[in-house]
Amino acid sequence: MITAYASTDTAIEAVQHGAFDYIIKPFKMEDLSAVVHRALEKKLSRSNPSAVFPVNLEAVQGQKLFQALKRSHVIGKSPEMLEVYRTIGTVALGDSTILITGESGTGKELIARAIHEASQRREKPFVSINCGAFPETLLESELFGYVKGAFTGAVTNKKGLFEAAAGGSIFLD
């Protein structure tokens, strides 16, 4: 919950009604990001991927998942990484948008590639987009493309990156 009216009573009432946390305006984006990250971690730690995709992962994915991890250069043998591998195999069976969170340099793109490689989309393009590399004014044109004459300097039609993915996977970083 975000509010400009901070009081202990309001905070307690918000949490009692299901608010995950309580942020007072004005706030820093880093604070909001941290709260969202903690909320996602809590939700994901409670969720059971096998309840969403009731499949015997080992029987269905086995070798295909191993090959996908190998092609995407994901490595590790810790219990935590084994859980990541199981999650990759599980979500790769679906056709949903996936949010991958983590600090810079933790391998979010590698995980996205592994999911793509283990999915039915593996024969289609995997398009990775560093959104921070584009000025805000150009990002829309890069993502969605444009037609000739849409703005000054648009002398030809340009296919956007979403169209370039053509049924594959898109990783927005």
Looking at residue 40, its pLDDT comes to 64
pLDDT in tens, 122-166: 889 898 888 888 888 788 888 888 888 877 888 888 888 888 888
Residues 55 and 117 occupy one common structural domain: yes
**In this structure, how many other beta carbons lie within 10 angstroms of the beta carbon of residue 65?**
21
Residues 23 and 8 occupy one common structural domain: yes
Task: Answer yes or no: is 34 within a domain.
Answer: yes
pLDDT in tens, 1-47: 666 666 777 767 777 777 777 777 776 777 767 777 677 666 655 55
Residues 112 and 156 occupy one common structural domain: no
d(CA 138, CA 46): 39
pLDDT in tens, 39-64: 766 665 555 444 333 334 444 455 56
Task: Answer yes or no: is 170 within a domain.
Answer: no
Q: How many domains does the chain have?
A: 3
pTM listed for this prediction: 0.56
Residues 85 and 58 occupy one common structural domain: yes
Task: Answer yes or no: is 173 within a domain.
Answer: no
Domain of residue 11 covers 2-46
Residues 108 and 135 occupy one common structural domain: no
